[in-house]
Structure 1
Amino acid sequence: MGSRTRVTAHEFVRETLREGILNGSLPGGTRLVQADLAAQLQVSTTPVREALRDLASEGQIELDAHRGATVHQISHDELEEIYELRMMLEVMAMRRAAKRITPAQLTRVRTVLAAMQAAPQSANWVMLNRDFHLTIYEAADSPRLLSILRTLLDTSVMYVSAALESTPNIRKQASIDHKRMVEVLVQRDAEGAVRTIQDHLEIPRSILHLDT
């Protein structure tokens, strides 16, 4: 499930599990037993427990007092709910960001975009995609809106990953959209930003045809 890098044991376990979830090697419904994971990854159960809590807070796994941890199963109904909410709220966030974004914030957005273009693995790209959007929405200067969007984007990563696996060339289209977002933000074109995010959010929803 991936090679160990110079990070804490907690981070190593979290990123290894996240990669497995996003690349499909840990499909929805898979039970994640702490002792088994600790033995497999050669760590104690403490970083495993911490990693599972992190992933649960992001909506990628579910924790149950009796059943333990299982990988979250994506569904058509959840997909529609998430993307309807994202469409409403990200339109608001993009409009606000286009009017308020600073040069320093634009630099951070460009930095994440460059990292996305260089990302070798789909799992890395999916998480950077999340970071790209959140970096823009920080410029909206609305902490509550940002908090809600962070929750939605955390849950969305599994759907973005599924869409990418189904249709790998969407990464190219997404890259075009992301560059366009930067352009309209530089121009402070609020309505252009709205149109761009509306078109962009239709990509995963139009590709995924999930069994309920």
Structure 2
Amino acid sequence: MLGSDRSRPAFHQSYEIIRDKILNGELPGGTKIVEEKVAAELGVSRTPIRESIRKLEQEGLIVNKRVVKPTEKDLRNMFQVRILLEGFSAKCAASYLKEDELESLYNCVEIGRKGTVEEIMRANERFHEIIVNASNNQVMIDIIDRMQSTIYLFRKTVVFYNRPHLIDEHEEIYEAIKARDGEKAERLMKSHLQADLDFCLHLIGN
């Protein structure tokens, strides 16, 4: 059932509940989303559920009324975009990140070494967010933002399955940005994301 917060539209609450169920694995890839069933479970009409599904389709979490189960091609396509955009962003970060942002970036690395799985997830997300925002290119930021939910699924996979060298790579990227070496930061970010892709593909193949 939806919460008692009546100031927020049923659509927003429904959307967040369904999205969270997908992101936490309660609704695994391939699950068919039946409007009537979800509406009954949440105690709302089908209209907000339909709107929620439409938004989740735009975010890439639902395809043809089913929870996304990315194919190898889907993964490659998405990471190709990320490698290009985040590689460029890392290069920008080396030129434009301020000292306090550099500190925040280093904090993400520290949490990545010592935190709980949830803390590491948030730090991982924040690490990439700081770097993407450094591009100061709203079009690029919006493209990455639209992909965030799907990216979260992959981040969760690489953190949960403890991909080797993940945090070491973050620290190397941080060091290159701190040293204002844009070319190196871009190269390291690209190889970091390629390693994420290879790791996810390996898990799919098993």
Q: TM over 0.5: same fold?
A: yes
SS at match of 1:28: coil
- Deviation of the 1:135 alpha carbon: 2.3
Task: Give the 3-state SS of the residue equivalent to 2:66 in structure 1.
Answer: strand
Q: Select the residue among 166, 169, 175 that pairs with 2:162.
A: 169
2:141 to 146, 159, 175: 146
In structure 1, the residue matched to 2:81 is 85
Structure 2: tracts of 5 or more residues without a match: none
Displacement, 1:193?
Answer: 1.1
| Residue 38 of structure 2: aligned partner | 37
Inter-partner Cα distance in structure 2 for 1:50 and 1:96: 37
The answer as to whether partners of 2:94 and 2:185 remain within 8 angstroms in 1 is yes
Give the whole-Å Cα distance in 2 for the aligned partners of 1:43 and 1:158: 27
- Equivalents in 1 of 2:100, 2:194: separation in Å? 29
Residue 128 of structure 1, CA deviation = 5.5
Corresponding residue number in structure 2 for 1:184: 176
Tell me how far apart the structure 2 counterparts of residues 190 and 20 of structure 1 sit (CA, whole Å): 39
- Residue 92 of structure 2 corresponds to which residue in structure 1? 96
1:173 shift after superposition: 2.9
The Cα of 1:101 is off from its aligned counterpart by 1.2
CA gap of 1:198–1:10, structure 2 versus 1, over 3 A, is same
Identity %: 28
Q: Contact (CA 8 Å) 1:130, 1:154: kept in 2 or not?
A: no
Asked if 1:134 corresponds to 2:124, the answer is: no
What is the CA distance between 1:76 and its match in structure 2? Answer: 0.6
Contact kept? 1:10, 1:51, Cα under 8 Å:
yes
State the secondary structure of the residue aligned to 1:31: coil
Q: Which one is further off, 173-182 or 92-101?
A: 173-182
Superposition TM-score, scaled by structure 2 size:
0.72
Q: Answer yes or no: is the 8 Å Cα contact 1:20–1:26 preserved in 2.
A: yes
Give the Cα separation in 1 of the matches to 2:158 and 2:101: 29
Paired residue total: 199
SS of equivalent to 2:85:
helix
**Would the aligned equivalents of 2:60 and 2:147 in 1 still touch at CA under 8 Å?**
no
Work out which of the residue numbers 183, 187, 195 in structure 2 matches 1:203. 195
User: For the structure 1 residues 160 and 33, does the alpha-carbon distance in structure 2 shift closer, same or farther, using more than 3 Å as the test?
Assistant: same
RMSD: 3.7
The residue number in structure 2 matching 1:22 is 23
* Uncovered stretches (5+) of structure 1, i.e. residues with no partner: none
- Distance (whole Å) between structure 1 residues aligned to residue 116 and residue 16 of structure 2: 15
Match of 1:59 in 2: 60
- Give the whole-Å Cα distance in 1 for the aligned partners of 2:38 and 2:193: 35
